[in-house]
Amino acid sequence: MADPGAGAAAPGAPTVIADAVHIAYTVPTGPGTHRRVHAVRGVGFVARRGESIGLIGSNGSGKSTLLKAIAGLQQTESGRVYTRGRPALLGVDAALMGDLSGERNVILGGLAMGMSRSGIASRYEGIVDFSGLPDGRDGRENALARPMRTYSSGMAARLRFAIAATARSHDVLLVDEALATGDARFQRRSRRRIDELRAAAGTVFLVAHSHATIRETCDRALWLEAGTLRMDGPAEEVTAAYEEFTRTGATPPDE
Ligand SMILES: Nc1ncnc2c1ncn2[C@@H]1O[C@H](COP(=O)(O)OP(=O)(O)OP(=O)(O)O)[C@@H](O)[C@H]1O
């Protein structure tokens, strides 16, 4: 599938435009009855090439829902999300298959992102190296040969990150808490890779509960609270304002 204009944008050109986005879920409450959960309420922003944007906010404030909408995996009720190229969502929920081996999942993940088989084959070793999973060399076990469901959550997150981040440069990369998993060395490697992607003039969105991670990785932050955009600005200022908000014990308005 052709990406209209992909790769052609200058630094600073818009990559994601969210225009008054509303998203609601229908939750069954009993036989024949349901309730609407209004998860995102009129959120608007423009993301540009070269930006790394953190999404912060209380539990249930709509961060993951917004990320899914940017990825094109979640319909909006009203408003629209415009994206350049094909955003890649990379998170703990990324759809890899637990019964298949790590090796098969590298291939599947690559195909799902639109890569050719030969493109995947030539990048395979780089992906495995990035993940840091033992691959049978140096007399260690070959974790890539086992089903992914036998991996620890950290191992699985590392492989997912490696697949999406090493595979190719994305116009828009969406990361949902992947950095929270994995050991310190892997986190450093992930941060470096995010910096490289950003330098390659992509846009990175990161959902993380750790403000240290957001401040180190992102230059801008969006603070969502009860589905609304409370603040949009430099990561330092937005995380500080959110910390102040939580310290004063103010509770977000009810849904
Ligand atoms: N599949 C779903 N069906 C129904 N309601 C959902 C669904 N996913 C999320 N919600 C609801 O939408 C709201 C926003 O959830 P979301 O997961 O986007 O928040 P979040 O900010 O990512 O939260 P957290 O920080 O806890 O991960 C919450 O009220 C949540 O209960």
User: Whole-angstrom distance between the N-terminal and C-terminal Cα of the chain?
Assistant: 39
Whole-number Å distance between alpha carbons of 86 and 108: 17
Q: Name which of 194, 197, 198, 169 is nearest 179 in CA terms.
A: 194
Interval between CA 26 and ligand 1 midpoint (Å): 12
The per-residue pLDDT for 166 is 66
CA-40 nearest atom, ligand 1: 14
CA-64 nearest atom, ligand 1: 22
- Over the chain (255 residues), what is each successive 10-residue block's mean pLDDT? 47 91 94 94 95 93 93 92 82 69 89 81 90 88 94 84 70 73 77 75 83 89 97 97 87 47
Q: Give the chain's domains with CATH numbers.
A: 11-87+170-255 (3.40.50.300), 95-169 (no CATH)
Interval between CA 135 and ligand 1 midpoint (Å): 36
H runs (alpha helix) in 31-152: 63-70, 102-112, 117-131
Is residue 113 in contact with ligand 1, taking CB distance under 6 Å?
Answer: no
Interval between CA 66 and ligand 1 midpoint (Å): 10
Interval between CA 58 and ligand 1 midpoint (Å): 11
- DSSP at 113: T
The per-residue pLDDT for 1 is 37
Interval between CA 7 and ligand 1 midpoint (Å): 33
Query: Which residues have CB under 8 Å from 9's CB, separation 6+?
Result: 15, 49, 84, 171, 201
Q: Name which of 45, 72, 95 is nearest 222 in CA terms.
A: 45
CA-65 nearest atom, ligand 1: 18
Whole-number Å distance between alpha carbons of 155 and 173: 20
58 three-class SS: coil
68 three-class SS: helix
Q: 185 near 154, Cβ under 8 Å?
A: no
Whole-number Å distance between alpha carbons of 100 and 90: 19
Is residue 39 in contact with ligand 1, taking CB distance under 6 Å?
Answer: yes
The per-residue pLDDT for 237 is 97
Nearest CA to ligand 1 atom 7: 25
Number of neighbours of residue 246 by Cβ within 10 angstroms:
11
- Read off the amino acid at residue 180: A
The per-residue pLDDT for 199 is 72
Helices (H) and strands (E) in the chain, counts: 7, 9
The per-residue pLDDT for 115 is 77
The per-residue pLDDT for 4 is 40
- Read off the amino acid at residue 62: G
Whole-number Å distance between alpha carbons of 74 and 76: 6
Is residue 25 in contact with ligand 1, taking CB distance under 6 Å?
Answer: yes
Number of neighbours of residue 5 by Cβ within 10 angstroms:
11
